[in-house]
Amino acid sequence: MQARSHMQAIVAAPACLRQSLCVLALLALIFPVTNAQNDIPLAIDDIVIPEMRLPLCFGFSDITEIRALEVCNALNLKENVKARELSEQWQRAEPNSPAAQFALAEVLFTVEGNMARALFHLNRAEELTGFVTIAEALNSENLQWHYLTLSQLSYVHQLMGDQIKSLEYLDKLHDIYGQEVESFRGWPLIKLKQYDAARASAELVLQDSDDERERSRAWNTLCAVELASLQPIESMTACDRAIDEDENIADARNDFDTVYLTNASEVSLSLLQIDKAEEYLDRATRYLNPDSVADPWIYKLYLTMNQSRFEEAREALDRMLVWRETQEPIVNVMNRAEHFLVSANFLLLAGYAEDAAKLSLTALNQPDRNGSYSADDAQKDSYAALVNMMANQTEYQIQLEQIATMDFFESLRLRLHLVNLQLDAWRAERRAASLFAEVDVLQSRLRPYAPLDVHIPEWVEPEIVALIGTGVMHNVVELANSNGAFSLNSGYYHAYRTEIAALQANASETIALGERAQAELPAQEALLRGRVAARMAAAHWRMRDYGSALTQYEQAYSLDPSILRRLGAPLPVEIVGDDSEFSAQVINYLERSPRFITNSNGLRLEVTASPDLSICLKSRTGEILTCYTMAAATDQSSTWNAQQLTRLFHSDTFGLGFDISKAQRSMLLGSSVILSSQTNGAQQQNPNTVFSQ
């Protein structure tokens, strides 16, 4: 879970200019206005002329530079390509103009999300001004541009992860212009893990400021500070007041504040108030918010996956893509890794491991632009590497399933590919292990829905045990438990202990710990329960307790159809056919599959060739767990039909049964965003593409 900052760039707030509207006054003289009740003509002084707001240019109403006004006009009209061209032409014509440098930086930053190039031009604008006192700024013609440059430099450095620089520019704004910046200091201090300083800053704001947004930022900072402890917070007052200072968070008017609602959801998750967390997310999804770094559908997707609500998860994925396509480019840059990683998780469950590997690798290779998130930059990389490892390992299993339906020479190409998959998985595993190596990082990671850390699903986190080693993880888990990480629900503690015991091949301890985990874990942790059940099933089978083993296998499969494939574990089955040659051929493929081990005490796997071709997995009592049926392709050979049936059965049985087209999967990598940005009316250019501010 990551807290999000509500910080935005500091912009000027000039007084709005009152307009005389000469035309209206002239009309009033020619055609006297009367009082409707008594027909008494009104004097010109009695006419109420509404206050008009001039369009702002970079936050100011009194900018007079023609080139600046042209750029702002293009931006206001969403003519983004024109704004880029105008700003570049201005910068080329007047390279020593701080106004031109700032204008180009602003277009690069807001329209394209290109922070690195924007930073270059902001630095150049600062060099061309370099005022150290207000007197110097007043005696120049560039006061506004210097002020705007310092403001944006603080924000860009914050987003790019240089919090020291961000604070330095806040200090400059205060020292030179007297700008009140204390409410903006809390978030960089949170990112630096200077929690005492962040608390002091927030308390100072609450003591001195009556501004609603400043106080909200301060409460948000205090909320994040309180969440920094391994132990759960005792009161949600600070977090609730970040949404509404009167703590009336149920007020529907707060539904427009996506960031605070998402943060409230994550605070609720950290307290294991899972249903309440989803309520906050549902409120946050009601209104599209293109300017918000918080996409509530990301977390809705995580929650529905956790709970094995796969149909709803598929819908959340679609809605998430719609939300992403509406985002402003700068926001897209900041949360693209989140979109990639949650999508990779869904594809992994759905059986599209190759695409999950691509998405996670893309997230791993993206530059960090997560200054609005509480998580460290390395946390995103560790999570991405972990998912990439899982995806490559799962794809390895899928290829073994394919090879089981081929003869040796036909499978040579895939066998060579297996080597590459193993190497890719090993590289990702080593990278993830190195990033998770610190004890403090691991302790925070083990707390359920760890606040201020990157959001790693609870069903994924047990993978860390194999990365770090069972001995080390046993000590870390015990230390985290003594420090209160599992104080709200010890089921998570027993789930980790179950994983450790399973990897140590201690069957009796695996069963005992697994039973405690299943008894205590929240009902919503369906995928984690499925993993525990799979570990217990294998332990029961080793102890020849076949009845208990099959019960656990059935439970594991019902909660998470992909778990055995992800663990690389076989399912004990008794394979029976209808005595046809076709069934015999299919049975041969199934016996060679890594997903099954044949045993007369296993579940029933029935193959039939009439009336249609089918494979059904059944319990010992005959209850159908899954069944795949297809019509025979009359224009193909019996071997082709047998191969096709076996492959499709594996795909359907150990995935979610969703047919996700290649075009849809490509959309998850951002091609739809690129396409829309190239073809929409504004011709907007695409950027180079937990607790937030």
Residue with tokens 């290649």: 662
pLDDT, tens digit (0-9, with 9 covering 90-100), for 332-389: 888 888 899 999 999 999 999 999 999 999 988 876 666 666 666 677 888 999 999 9
pLDDT at 440 exceeding the cut of 80: no
Name the band, by pLDDT with cuts 50, 70 and 90, for residue 598: very high
What is the structure's pLDDT at 185?
93
Average pLDDT taken over every residue of the chain: 85
Q: Are 259 and 693 in contact (CB under 8 A)?
A: yes
Q: How confident is the model over 255-262, as a mean pLDDT?
A: 79
Ranges of CATH 3.30.160.710 domains, the chain: 570-654
What is the structure's pLDDT at 122?
96
d(C-alpha 602, C-alpha 625), whole Å = 13
Name the band, by pLDDT with cuts 50, 70 and 90, for residue 60: confident
pLDDT at 15 exceeding the cut of 80: no
Least confident among 122-126, 224-228, 417-421, 431-435: 224-228
Q: Kindly tell me the sign of the dihedral angle through the C-alpha atoms of 75, 77, 81, 85.
A: negative
Name the band, by pLDDT with cuts 50, 70 and 90, for residue 95: very high
What is the structure's pLDDT at 216?
86
Q: How confident is the model over 271-290, as a mean pLDDT?
A: 91
pLDDT at 574 exceeding the cut of 50: yes
What is the structure's pLDDT at 290?
85
Ranges of CATH 1.25.40.10 domains, the chain: 54-179
Q: Which amino acid is at 43?
A: A
Best mean pLDDT range from 129-143, 178-192, 594-608:
594-608
What is the structure's pLDDT at 582?
95
pLDDT at 570 exceeding the cut of 50: yes
Using alpha carbons, list the distances in angstroms from residue 339 to 91, 289, 318, 688. Answer: 35, 16, 12, 15
Nearest to 585, CA basis, from 629, 559, 615, 554: 615
**Torsions phi, psi of 435, nearest 5?**
-80, -25
Nearest to 397, CA basis, from 534, 527, 533, 570: 570
Q: Which amino acid is at 108?
A: L
Least confident among 182-191, 485-494, 583-592: 182-191
Using alpha carbons, list the distances in angstroms from residue 338 to 1, 75, 116, 160. Answer: 11, 28, 20, 16
What pTM was estimated for this model as a whole?
0.84
Helix, strand, coil percentages, rounded to 5, for the chain: 60, 5, 35
Assigned CATH class of 54-179: mainly alpha
Assigned CATH class of 570-654: alpha beta
Q: How confident is the model over 31-45, as a mean pLDDT?
A: 48
What is the structure's pLDDT at 50?
53
* More confident call, 657 vs 105: 105
d(C-alpha 194, C-alpha 196), whole Å = 6
Percent of the chain having pLDDT more than 70? Answer: 86
CB atoms inside a 10 Å sphere around CB 142: 20
pLDDT, tens digit (0-9, with 9 covering 90-100), for 457-475: 999 999 999 999 999 999 9
Q: Are 605 and 596 in contact (CB under 8 A)?
A: yes
Q: How confident is the model over 254-260, as a mean pLDDT?
A: 76
Name the band, by pLDDT with cuts 50, 70 and 90, for residue 678: very low
Nearest to 318, CA basis, from 331, 302, 301, 294: 301
d(C-alpha 431, C-alpha 443), whole Å = 19
Kindly state the tokens that stand for 112.
């394209």
d(C-alpha 590, C-alpha 645), whole Å = 11
Q: Are 67 and 103 in contact (CB under 8 A)?
A: yes
313 by Cβ neighbours in 10 Å (0-12 / 13-18 / 19+) ranks as: buried
pLDDT at 215 exceeding the cut of 60: yes
* More confident call, 375 vs 436: 436
Nearest to 684, CA basis, from 82, 215, 206: 82
Q: Are 175 and 136 in contact (CB under 8 A)?
A: no
Alpha helices in 504-580 (DSSP H): 507-520, 526-542, 546-559, 563-567
d(C-alpha 659, C-alpha 497), whole Å = 36
At 594 the three-state DSSP class reads: coil
Cβ neighbours for 56, distance < 8 A, ≥ 6 positions apart: 14, 72
What is the structure's pLDDT at 477?
94
DSSP at 130 = -
Name the band, by pLDDT with cuts 50, 70 and 90, for residue 9: low
Nearest to 510, CA basis, from 540, 473, 487, 469: 540
d(C-alpha 693, C-alpha 681), whole Å = 31
What is the structure's pLDDT at 579?
86
What is the structure's pLDDT at 381?
86
pLDDT at 553 exceeding the cut of 90: yes
